[in-house]
Amino acid sequence: GWATAPDGPYSWGLCYKEEISPASNYCDATDKQWPCYPGKSYHGRGPIQLSWNFNYGPAGQALGFDGLRNQEIVANCSDTAFRTAL
């Protein structure tokens, strides 16, 4: 927050669970270990705005979801979203 924020400096924090108007689909096509899937976007999601295929892949592997094919779960499941931030 900031000192003059409405309701005090500690009342404002996480505002968006998904990046607004992403500039691209955040696919690094050169990353062969974590390949992008057609039609998928790896833009920022969750409290730390997880982005890029090379981040979604390992996060999904560590947390038990398919980060390359089902990255939407980071925006749609609060447990998964916050687990990606830890």
Query: Quick check: 12 pLDDT over 80?
Result: no
- Angstrom distance (rounded) from CA 38 to CA 48: 24
Assign 6 to helix, strand or coil.
Answer: coil
Distance CA(26)–CA(64), nearest Å, equals 22
**Quick one: average pLDDT of 59-65?**
98
Rounded CA-CA distance 79/29 in Å is 29
For residue 84, is it within any domain? yes
For the cut 90, the answer to whether the pLDDT of residue 4 exceeds it is no
Token digits for 84? Answer: 């990606």
Q: Domain with 27 in it: what CATH number?
A: 3.30.20.10
- Domain tally for the chain? 1
Residue 13 resides in a domain: no
Residues 36-49: tens digit of each pLDDT: 999 999 999 999 99
pLDDT at 1 over 70: no
pLDDT of res. 72: 97
Q: How sure is the predictor about 76, in pLDDT bands with cuts at 50, 70 and 90?
A: very high
Q: Flag whether 34 is in a domain.
A: yes
Domain range spanning residue 36?
A: 23-86
Does residue 73 contact residue 63 with C-beta atoms inside 8 Å? no
Tell me if 3 is assigned to some domain. no
